[in-house]
A and B are shown apart, each in its own frame.
Chain A
């Protein structure tokens, strides 16, 4: 996709739009919502890179997010390291966990893989609660220092990170990497017979997905200034999958739109009071039912096709 100038223009326009929004609306609240949505975007993009391409749906993505966030939490509060050390540390820990859970579950697919990853996340959540003396239990770790004090500054940092990660993963997806991952989804046995090191690609894609998700987790921790076990929850993983779905599976850039859309939706519906989540769920059903291919990526593709801008 990124070889085409029209996509470049589209992406730049989107980025400019996102950067301009807080300047137009001048609201700390909106900046906060957008920052959180951008971080969810990072998580959604990383999910799509692994699960969207290989077709092995990961129902435990929250594992890497939580690991990254808790690493940031411990490093910042227990070890007193400044926030910028959290990001690489979170990535390292997340990759370690990816290896830990990824290697034994290599041969699993479909619901089996989904459940195995989900189990991993649930175990970590439970452990955080069981060892509450060290992890703060359900109150989590509080009192982290912010990465960038200025709200707008942090938002731009998060946006830039999202853009960088998306570009990187898109490039990988368009390269022979992506080709192989998609081939693995198609027919793994044939790939193996063709001499491709399927194991390497599966594990590597999980590690890459985990690394950036963990980085996102650390950023989240330093923005919310707290870490809680709810990050490991099933609900978190499912929320991210929903975002990818609404954005358009396997498109890499679609989930960005999906994440921003759904986070904005949950927030902007606050004026419905008690009915907020009900309206949200109904809108979700409508989207899932009427537009099963996703909203963001297919829409962009159709716009391009209609205008004749190329595939």
Chain B
């Protein structure tokens, strides 16, 4: 039984990291109906920035975290401006291809020797590892840090979206761009801001990921980003609590499948469960089944 709780804790750690990335995906999708393929790579840049911050510049880790946040936020905005804005009112699929191109670009560009490196980098995280044993279950301080950070940013995000004018603008734009313009909302700035926040979250996710799994690589964003994206869809794409819910579920499913069904077929079973959920609730768990307008 204790082992079960341990596995739940393991799944929680994984799920929380996915949550930070999934939030960014869902925010961007909500406002511009685009699957930001490059989001996973922004996460990767965050992990690298954090690493550079606390290993080379010897910053205390919260400062490195902020540095990563800001770098990724800026990259997200630049990405939007250069690659997505020209295609904003074109076919969705064209924007997706553009996003794929942006994703490849970030991956291969950072792999060049004069940027980051194509090798894996293993390092010691700046947080000294302390483990507490609560009722037989091992909990590390890093897990607590991740939990606190995710909870804090989720709360901040809720505050932003529902209590500020900017948040109101974001919600308006997500409904209809033209109507928002008529209401005096600067659509371009709002979208840029959304990317700023979403990418910043991914950056934080990257740094925290580096604490939990201290090995970074320029292609680490591919799978993790994909899983976070699936989590966002699972919970209902465009819905913030859905992203977190989906991410937590993904984390649990992955870990518990590996522990109790088969570690061999972990991914396959996790995806099979995903497909079954989608067949039952086609718009995601918290998704609204919007009737198609003719």
Q: Do A and B interact with each other, yes or no? A: no
